[in-house]
Chains A and B, each alone.
Chain A
């Protein structure tokens, strides 16, 4: 039984009886980016790749949640070129995109998307056999592919899982939470992890570590995140000495589902139907309001995400919202046959939730959906710390201040490909530099937490408080006073981590997992709040009530670092 007894692999003398394993490349997070990075690393000659996930490989993370579209300049519907995709990406990024990273993303996306097609992902096709491409908001032409119905992400994840199973060099481990990076001589040499099933620490010696643990949207009360998007990857990177970039830019998806309660469907499901059918956004009185914000949708669904979020939030604040505090999304003008053709089996799922779109609008509101910022990397996906790479949403810079719809899955695949290949090249000429004493404090922490601790408040309760705090003070609208309140409370919460109550227990103890999530989420939250407080302007997804205008003098990215004592600081990369 996995719960009792430890599996000792090459026990290390300095750390008594700890489970130890060795690999060439450790990949943290097994969503789209991590799975692709593993395939790419093995393909580039890495002999041992260890792909781990705190949830289940290929089932947690954000990829599997993606219901919508994937942008690639395939030119199936009309002439297209990756440079046109790049132009749209840069425009959406409001002047802050790392142009080199954005170019990598747009140039490589067609190859990755066609490859997924060859791997039988099942892209929706036209009658002539061509891959169907639609025009998602912010794109200058039809460029976005999908798998019907609302199945893009699950199909991509399943396709990658199938490929992984065929590669001998890749070892997969589920329910392994990487808690701390291990560095020596300024390089990343491995990591310490919590084996959730045994409750024991595990040490992992690796020549390179790829962080593909996704973003941080789970730290906001209203979010479309899976349980494991609490910012772990950012905390790991900061701890290892890497820089984060663009942390203030959290994409609030404008039309997240609000009411009536909908189960079994992702809350961001409405977008593709808006552009297929032209769903109308109406205020609480049933009036169209987007024209008042300079967005004319008479010729189609064209309002970018940051503007739509702004308009909805302003309407609600002005007392013109819907009963649950959002706005209405209405398809009642669309004939039933057209609804059934577009929604397919989704109509039945909606009916199970008591929703009949021919008769009623639903309520929608902004919801934290994606994080533009992340680990600062160059074109090789390498951070400034030797041996530390990043891929997918965990990597920052490509999307600047606002992400274009359809760029997230290509980012996972393209950056995963680069990170895996570049990590393989990096490890080829290196030997392992594992130093057990460097891992000892993290190992001891895992052990002491499992022993339990008395306290007044649990990590689960504090995580809920953190999410409310971030939503209220660091959400779609920010100002100096609110950001100051958030930073003060975050500082108290970080200082109080050692007093958090933990129920004792080794095997699958959720209180221990919560503590590690809280520690990481507090670091990620502070990185966002500090960067947001420093940026005295409004740009893209970062909206300041006290600085409502975009200031050309602020057209540069900020970087966040963490000192050895845990102090988080912001600097400009101007």
Chain B
């Protein structure tokens, strides 16, 4: 039996890049895994330069991993990975992009001035 895989199409780049750029990753699929599990796997095994905000990893209390998943704003840590089609991951719309899936979500009073 072939191992199950999931495919992720991830928006890459910093604020300086004007043209949208997407990169596709293939990751092992496990039943019940989250999108964040897959992103962490990519960072550890394929591309450590991929930027994503997360803190609590699994508890869904920090809310830092909010991104757009197939066009819908959701948490990477609670959205299940799918293996039946490519999932598209993009930074949170309406916020300045810093790098890849990371946007400027700090409250203005918590920024270095």
Interface residues of A (CB under 8 A from B): 1-4, 7, 19, 21, 55-57, 59-61, 64-65, 67, 153-154, 165, 172-176, 195, 197-198, 202, 225-228, 260-267, 353-354, 458-461, 463-464, 501, 503, 505, 507-511, 514
Identify which of A21, A59, A228, A508 gathers the most chain B CB atoms within 10 Å of its CB. Answer: A508
CA distance A59 to B14 in the complex (A): 25
**B48 and A263 contact, CB distance less than 8 A:** no
Per-residue interface assignment for chain B, residues 48 to 72, with 1 indicating a CB less than 8 Å from any chain A CB and 0 otherwise: 1111101111111111100000000
Per-residue interface assignment for chain B, residues 84 to 113, with 1 indicating a CB less than 8 Å from any chain A CB and 0 otherwise: 000000000000101100101111011111
Q: Which of A61, A67, A197, A514 contacts B48 (CB 8 A)?
A: A514
CA distance A461 to B45 in the complex (A): 7
Residues in chain A near residue B15, CB distance under 8 A = 1, 3-4, 507
Which partner residue on chain A sits nearest B35 by CB separation? A263
**B112 and A173 contact, CB distance less than 8 A:** yes
Chain B nearest CB: distance from A517 CB in Å?
Answer: 12
Q: Which of B30, B106, B113 contacts A174 (CB 8 A)?
A: B106
**B55 and A60 contact, CB distance less than 8 A:** yes
Which partner residue on chain B sits nearest A61 by CB separation? B55
Which partner residue on chain B sits nearest A151 by CB separation? B61
Interface size bracket, B side = 35 or more
- B8: interface (CB < 8 Å): no
Residues in chain A near residue B31, CB distance under 8 A = 260-261
**A226 and B104 contact, CB distance less than 8 A:** no
CA distance A12 to B60 in the complex (A): 42
Residues in chain B near residue A64, CB distance under 8 A = 56, 59, 61-62
Chain B contact residues: helix, strand, loop or mixed: loop
Residues in chain A near residue B99, CB distance under 8 A = 505, 507-509
- B26: interface (CB < 8 Å): no
Q: Which of B34, B44, B48, B56 contacts A503 (CB 8 A)?
A: B48
Chain A nearest CB: distance from B67 CB in Å?
Answer: 14
Residues in chain A near residue B107, CB distance under 8 A = 174
**B44 and A461 contact, CB distance less than 8 A:** yes
Which partner residue on chain B sits nearest A62 by CB separation? B56
Residues in chain A near residue B63, CB distance under 8 A = 59
**B61 and A459 contact, CB distance less than 8 A:** no
Which partner residue on chain B sits nearest A227 by CB separation? B55
Given A3-B15, A261-B32, also A56-B61 (CB < 8 A): no
Chain B nearest CB: distance from A458 CB in Å?
Answer: 4
Cβ contacts A to B, 18 pairs, < 8 Å: A2-B96, A2-B104, A7-B112, A55-B62, A56-B110, A61-B55, A64-B56, A172-B109, A197-B104, A226-B59, A227-B56, A260-B31, A263-B32, A263-B78, A501-B48, A505-B49, A507-B98, A510-B49
Interface residues of B (CB under 8 A from A): 14-16, 30-34, 43-45, 48-52, 54-64, 75, 77-78, 80, 96, 98-99, 102, 104-107, 109-113
Q: Which of B16, B61, B75, B112 contacts A154 (CB 8 A)?
A: B61
**A264 and B62 contact, CB distance less than 8 A:** no
Given A3-B14, A197-B98, A507-B99, also A263-B58 (CB < 8 A): yes
CA distance A40 to B66 in the complex (A): 32
Given A55-B62, A173-B112, A263-B80, also A459-B57 (CB < 8 A): no
**B30 and A261 contact, CB distance less than 8 A:** yes
Residues in chain A near residue B30, CB distance under 8 A = 261
Instruction: Rank and list the top 10 A-B pairs by shortest CB-CB distance, nearest first.
Output: A261-B32, A503-B49, A458-B48, A266-B59, A460-B48, A174-B110, A264-B60, A264-B78, A60-B55, A508-B99
**B33 and A510 contact, CB distance less than 8 A:** no
**A173 and B48 contact, CB distance less than 8 A:** no
Chain B nearest CB: distance from A516 CB in Å?
Answer: 13
Q: Which of B52, B55, B75 contacts A59 (CB 8 A)?
A: B55
**B61 and A174 contact, CB distance less than 8 A:** no
**A227 and B58 contact, CB distance less than 8 A:** no
Residues in chain B near residue A261, CB distance under 8 A = 30-33
**A173 and B110 contact, CB distance less than 8 A:** yes
Residues in chain B near residue A21, CB distance under 8 A = 112
**A505 and B14 contact, CB distance less than 8 A:** yes
Which partner residue on chain A sits nearest B110 by CB separation? A174
CA distance A202 to B111 in the complex (A): 13
Which partner residue on chain B sits nearest A172 by CB separation? B110
Besides the known contacts A176-B112, A509-B49, 6 further A-B residue pairs in the complex with CB atoms under 8 A apart: A1-B96, A3-B98, A57-B110, A226-B57, A227-B54, A264-B58
Residues in chain A near residue B64, CB distance under 8 A = 55-56, 59-60
**B32 and A260 contact, CB distance less than 8 A:** yes
**B16 and A3 contact, CB distance less than 8 A:** yes
Chain B nearest CB: distance from A255 CB in Å?
Answer: 16
**A19 and B112 contact, CB distance less than 8 A:** yes
Chain B nearest CB: distance from A126 CB in Å?
Answer: 26
Chain B nearest CB: distance from A129 CB in Å?
Answer: 28
Identify which of A165, A175, A227, A263 gathers the most chain B CB atoms within 10 Å of its CB. Answer: A263
**B55 and A265 contact, CB distance less than 8 A:** no
